Amino acid sequence: MKFIEEIARRRTFGIISHPDAGKTTLTEKLLLFGGAIKKAGAVKSNKIDRYVTSDFMEIERQRGISVATSVMGFEYKNVKINLLDTPGHKDFAEDTYRTLTAVDSAILVIDCVKGVETQTEKLIEVCRMRQTPVMAFINKLDREGQDPFDLLDEIEKKLNISVRPLSWPIGMGKSFKGVYDLFQKKLLLFQSSKNELTEDILQIDDLADPRLEEEIGDSDAALLREEVALINGVYPEFKVEDYLEGNIAPVFFGSAVNNFGVRELLDCFIQIAPAPLPRFTEAREVHPEELDYTGFVFKIHANMDPRHRNRIAFVRVCSGRFQRGHNYHHVRLDKKIRFSSVTAFMAQNKEIIDEAFPGDIIGLYDTGNLKIGDTLTGGEKINYKGIPSFSPEIFKEVVNLDAMKSKQLDKGLRQLMDEGVAQLFTYELGARKLVGTVGQLQFEVIQHRLQHEYGAKCRFHPVSLHKACWITGDDQKKIKEFIDSKYRHIAKDKDGKWVFMAETKSWLQMVEENFPGIDFHITSEF
Ligand code: G4P
């Protein structure tokens, strides 16, 4: 197959949801359709929240599992689908944000009973920042959920995104009869089936067709016609461009656990979801069709085997063909590196591959050369933009408990930060080190890993801070004045960028007013 065709047939996406909405179940059904697994129950959920947080062995085991399932490649109707898993646990939200930088589109799963939940709001914000096209799957229609029109309103309001239903439910919960697929004009009749792929599909191009009464009864047929007329009146006609520009989210209804409505989602997805898109480097836009290889690291997994300190770096191929055994340019280190062991992720297996195409995710075994955000190219000195860091929610000062091991502590902290486990801020004054995270769980993971992998002991001392704000401004003199006047509250992030550590919200507001020439950002991507 030609290089261009290989690119055109790839779809790289992530599934996002609030925990328990059905992400794992939907993933599994997609893999079933793709023939990548034979029966349900094969995909392990990488949910850590089911276990007590202090159970480190369990965390480690879970980390192992999530490596195997964090990228799943499979073929469906001659389309190569790369599904990137995102951790459901909110403490690992940063990992999810970074994974979203490596996809071309996303599928959002919403529980029809619970509606839009908090974590979804933040994830959609990340998609919006990058104009990532989103499709929504409203799940669990076999349960008594909220009214579908109300759900759509809620999505529009809470997620600040326009929607367009492409399928419509007939009843819900006990009276759930099926959905009408507005995209393919098919009536799907519901059958509860957890483990097999069953179909009862009727092509009904015109809803006036009397077969509708035969299948779902008079009153449901009348209601469906009325609601579809309403949908067509209220929502604009669906245009693929609107979806591709990230302006409108097509919505499907179904029940993942019952395999219902999933095939329709997948069929529409492969038709309309974007093939690998161009991506921005600091210098220029790179098109996937360019022949020179480029790619970036968006995730690092370490310590899969405690006996070896091996790490696997997940690289999104952005342009050109990646070939095993070739020398590639590591832009940050300005040196050539050869990767002889390259892994592709196929459903639940990892397999050694010889080449990869734009849109693919490859795993590179690494001994410490790579960190998140690194660009690898055929030789060009360009850096991919946009692996965002968000201001952490929880901050703690690192207290070294063994003066003899301070080197090990520094090294361990540096490497864990390279993996993106947490963020490190080093104060200008006294070189105090603060670790910032989204959740409590990371501190336990860090402490445990520092001790077991680096032989360093530390304690964390809570520090009350509102936000870490990256600071920029056009006038260097003003920045310097600001830093001098607030030097007790100024730190550097791991890349040496200036950060203002704001203690309270009101204080931050006051400082923003008093220093009009300075811009304060709560993400590092600006
Ligand atoms: P997550 O990855 O988003 O966290 O959710 P997951 O797929 O694990 O699903 C959460 C729960 O919701 C699971 O039940 C799952 O079986 C159930 N579920 C998923 N899709 C549907 C659906 O269409 N209808 C109904 N009624 N339930 C659904 P669980 O009891 O937590 O786990 P399990 O023992 O069933 O695996």
pLDDT tens for 276-303 read: 999 999 899 999 999 999 999 998 887 6
Cα separation, 345 vs 32, in Å, equals 16
| Token pair 């929607």 in the structure block, residue | 163
Query: Virtual CA dihedral for 366, 367, 373, 378, nearest 10 degrees?
Result: -60
Query: Virtual CA dihedral for 50, 154, 96, 100, nearest 10 degrees?
Result: 150
Residue whose CA lies nearest to ligand 1 atom number 9: 22
Is residue 21 lining ligand 1, measured as CB closer than 6 Å? Answer: yes
Is residue 22 lining ligand 1, measured as CB closer than 6 Å? Answer: yes
| 251 against 429, higher pLDDT | 251
The yes-or-no verdict on residue 177 having pLDDT over 50 is yes
Domain 279-377 belongs to what architecture?
3-Layer(aba) Sandwich (3.40)
Query: Virtual CA dihedral for 291, 293, 296, 297, nearest 10 degrees?
Result: 140
Cα separation, 110 vs 17, in Å, equals 7
The yes-or-no verdict on residue 42 having pLDDT over 60 is no
E strand or H helix at 454:
helix 441-454
- pLDDT tens per residue, range 491-508: 999 888 999 999 999 999
Percent of the chain at pLDDT > 90 equals 55
Distance from the CA of 371 to the center of ligand 1, in angstroms? 35
Give me the long-range contacts of 150-159 (CB less than 8 A, separation at least 24).
150/115, 151/110, 151/112, 151/115, 152/251, 154/115, 154/116, 155/110, 155/116, 155/249, 155/251, 158/116, 158/120, 158/121, 159/116, 159/120, 159/121, 159/124
Cα separation, 169 vs 185, in Å, equals 13
Residue 47 CA: which ligand 1 atom is closest?
4
Distance from the CA of 143 to the center of ligand 1, in angstroms? 12
E strand or H helix at 314:
strand 311-319
| Token pair 């261009």 in the structure block, residue | 4
- pLDDT tens per residue, range 398-407: 999 998 999 9
Average pLDDT over residues 178-193: 81
Nearest alpha carbon to residue 58 among 72, 70, 47: 47
Average pLDDT over residues 157-185: 90
Is residue 44 lining ligand 1, measured as CB closer than 6 Å? Answer: no
Distance from the CA of 192 to the center of ligand 1, in angstroms? 14
Q: Where are the domains of the chain?
A: 2-272, 279-377, 394-521
The set of residues, in sequence order, having a beta carbon less than 8 Å from that of 335 and lying 6+ positions away, is: 329
Is residue 117 lining ligand 1, measured as CB closer than 6 Å? Answer: no
Cα separation, 168 vs 170, in Å, equals 7
Task: Return the beta strands (E) in 373-497 as ranges.
Answer: 375-377, 394-400, 423-427, 433-437, 458-463, 467-472, 490-492
Residue whose CA lies nearest to ligand 1 atom number 14: 20
Residue whose CA lies nearest to ligand 1 atom number 4: 20
DSSP 148-182: HHHHHHHHHHHHT-EEEESEEEES-GGG--EEEET
Is residue 278 lining ligand 1, measured as CB closer than 6 Å? Answer: no
Determine the distance from the C-alpha atom of residue 173 to the mean position of all C-alpha atoms in its chain, rounded to a whole number. 30
The set of residues, in sequence order, having a beta carbon less than 8 Å from that of 314 and lying 6+ positions away, is: 70, 71, 102, 297, 298, 299, 300, 301, 361, 362, 363
Residue whose CA lies nearest to ligand 1 atom number 10: 20
Domains 279-377 and 394-521 share a fold: no
Q: List the single range of 46-55, 157-166, 195-204 with lowest mean pLDDT.
A: 46-55
Indicate the top mutation candidate among 31, 257, 260 to test ligand 1's pocket, ranked by most ligand atoms within 8 A of CB: 257
Distance from the CA of 25 to the center of ligand 1, in angstroms? 6
Residue 19 CA: which ligand 1 atom is closest?
4
Q: How confident is the model at residue 119 (pLDDT cuts 50, 70, 90)?
A: confident
The yes-or-no verdict on residue 349 having pLDDT over 70 is no
Pull the structure tokens for residue 400: 């070294």
Residue whose CA lies nearest to ligand 1 atom number 6: 22
What is the pLDDT at residue 63?
52
- The whole-model pTM stands at 0.86
Is residue 136 lining ligand 1, measured as CB closer than 6 Å? Answer: no
Residue 18 CA: which ligand 1 atom is closest?
3
Is residue 120 lining ligand 1, measured as CB closer than 6 Å? Answer: no
Is residue 391 lining ligand 1, measured as CB closer than 6 Å? Answer: no
Residue whose CA lies nearest to ligand 1 atom number 11: 20
Nearest alpha carbon to residue 265 among 9, 42, 81: 81
DSSP state of 29: H
Q: What is the mean pLDDT of the chain?
A: 86
Say how many C-beta atoms besides its own lie within 10 A of residue 207's C-beta: 15
Class for domain 2-272, per CATH?
alpha beta
Is residue 30 lining ligand 1, measured as CB closer than 6 Å? Answer: no
The yes-or-no verdict on residue 242 having pLDDT over 70 is yes
The yes-or-no verdict on residue 49 having pLDDT over 90 is no
**C-alpha distance from residue 321 to each of 179, 328, 340, 343, 351 (Å):** 42, 12, 15, 14, 18
The yes-or-no verdict on residue 199 having pLDDT over 70 is no
The set of residues, in sequence order, having a beta carbon less than 8 Å from that of 13 and lying 6+ positions away, is: 81, 82, 83, 84, 103, 104, 105, 106, 107, 269, 273
Cα-flanking dihedrals φ and ψ of residue 216, to 5°? -120, 0
| 184 against 433, higher pLDDT | 433
Is residue 261 lining ligand 1, measured as CB closer than 6 Å? Answer: no
DSSP 209-261: -THHHHHH-HHHHHHHHHHHHHHHHHSPPP-HHHHHTTSEEEEEE-BGGGTBS
Distance from the CA of 186 to the center of ligand 1, in angstroms? 26
Is residue 23 lining ligand 1, measured as CB closer than 6 Å? Answer: yes
Distance from the CA of 34 to the center of ligand 1, in angstroms? 20
CATH of domain 394-521: 3.30.70.3280
Q: How confident is the model at residue 41 (pLDDT cuts 50, 70, 90)?
A: low
Indicate the top mutation candidate among 16, 18, 25, 110 to test ligand 1's pocket, ranked by most ligand atoms within 8 A of CB: 25
Cα separation, 87 vs 115, in Å, equals 20
Which residue intervals of 70-147 are DSSP H helices?
93-100, 118-129
E strand or H helix at 507:
helix 505-514
Residue whose CA lies nearest to ligand 1 atom number 34: 41
Distance from the CA of 24 to the center of ligand 1, in angstroms? 8
What is the pLDDT at residue 34?
80
The yes-or-no verdict on residue 166 having pLDDT over 60 is yes
The yes-or-no verdict on residue 60 having pLDDT over 60 is no
What is the pLDDT at residue 102?
94
| Token pair 């349900």 in the structure block, residue | 40
> Rounded to a whole number, what is the largest CA-CA distance in the chain?
83
What is the pLDDT at residue 55?
46
Average pLDDT over residues 63-88: 77
What is the pLDDT at residue 64?
47
What is the pLDDT at residue 56?
46
Residue whose CA lies nearest to ligand 1 atom number 31: 20
What is the pLDDT at residue 38?
63
What is the pLDDT at residue 165?
95
Residue 27 CA: which ligand 1 atom is closest?
7
Residue 26 CA: which ligand 1 atom is closest?
7
Distance from the CA of 191 to the center of ligand 1, in angstroms? 17
Average pLDDT over residues 40-53: 46
Distance from the CA of 269 to the center of ligand 1, in angstroms? 22
Helices 441-454/56-69 angle, 10° precision: 90
